[in-house]
Structure 1
């Protein structure tokens, strides 16, 4: 919890504003069982900085997608299973662990909650202004969502 708070506060300090909370759905669809809350949204120059709290229900997923900008996060609760487009698991992330995702259509991936409790992830998006936070893509042929 302390690391998550420090991460969020650091992101706020870097972009120099106070947190404002609004509820939204996750941008990466078609996912299932995913909700998000925007904690911070600030544009500086050509970059939009967005901090979100993303929750994936048990059995849920983000759906296949990629990000136009860099993404980093910290697991606050549960376990995140992360797969690449070749169907392999490129990470299993537990509470307190950081995840960083590359940007662009060459890094298609999915995040899944294979556990029995909600998975909560605090995420910082560093995104080109005017771009979606995530771009949906079809399942690349994996035997799961």
Structure 2
């Protein structure tokens, strides 16, 4: 009985510690972003995930990077896409297609600076089981 109580006490301490441990302290959270997975299949150790993402006016993806390659099509609106050097900014308007390469050396942020919702159709090609994106801190740019 003593072992069981001690085990429960240890488990409670671990659970409390995990619950109170903060996430990535410097991550920049997204705001005004929602997504719906349309289709998902795993083939040859890679996940192929088709997702529709909506970013509301003034919304941001937060700074992040991807474990795999992302292929995107702008269905509606305009995406302002900035790389971690804070100077490379691409603007993708309705009908544009673009690719985001994989890896932590490709940190970027996407923002909707327009007045209408931005809708993206995105195909993620990720190593099986990978998250859709990895949070990153703001690399020092004057905006989120």
Quote the offset at 1:91 in angstroms: 1.0
Q: Distance in 2 between matches of 1:29 and 1:89?
A: 19
Aligned pair count reads 118
Greater than 6 Å deviation, 4+ residue runs: none
- Give structure 2 stretches of 5+ with no counterpart: 1-26
Q: Distance in 1 between matches of 2:106 and 2:125?
A: 16
**Radius of gyration: which is bigger?**
2
Q: Within 5 Å, which residues of 2 pair with 1:42-121?
A: 42-121=41-120
- Give structure 1 stretches of 5+ with no counterpart: 1-27
Query: What residue is the counterpart of 1:143 in the other structure?
Result: 142
Q: Distance in 1 between matches of 2:115 and 2:89?
A: 21
Quote the offset at 1:99 in angstroms: 1.2
The answer on whether the counterparts of 2:69 and 2:100 sit within 8 Å (CA) in structure 1 is yes
The answer on whether the counterparts of 1:81 and 1:89 sit within 8 Å (CA) in structure 2 is no
TM-score under structure 2 normalisation? Answer: 0.79
What is the DSSP-based 3-state SS (H/G/I as helix, E as strand, rest coil) of the residue aligned with 1:103?
Answer: coil
Quote the offset at 1:90 in angstroms: 3.1
Q: Distance in 1 between matches of 2:35 and 2:88?
A: 23
Quote the offset at 1:29 in angstroms: 6.5
Quote the offset at 1:36 in angstroms: 0.3
What is the DSSP-based 3-state SS (H/G/I as helix, E as strand, rest coil) of the residue aligned with 1:42?
Answer: strand
Provide the aligned C-alpha RMSD in A: 1.3
TM-score under structure 1 normalisation? Answer: 0.79
Structure 2 residue 128 is matched with structure 1 residue 129: yes
What is the DSSP-based 3-state SS (H/G/I as helix, E as strand, rest coil) of the residue aligned with 1:142?
Answer: coil
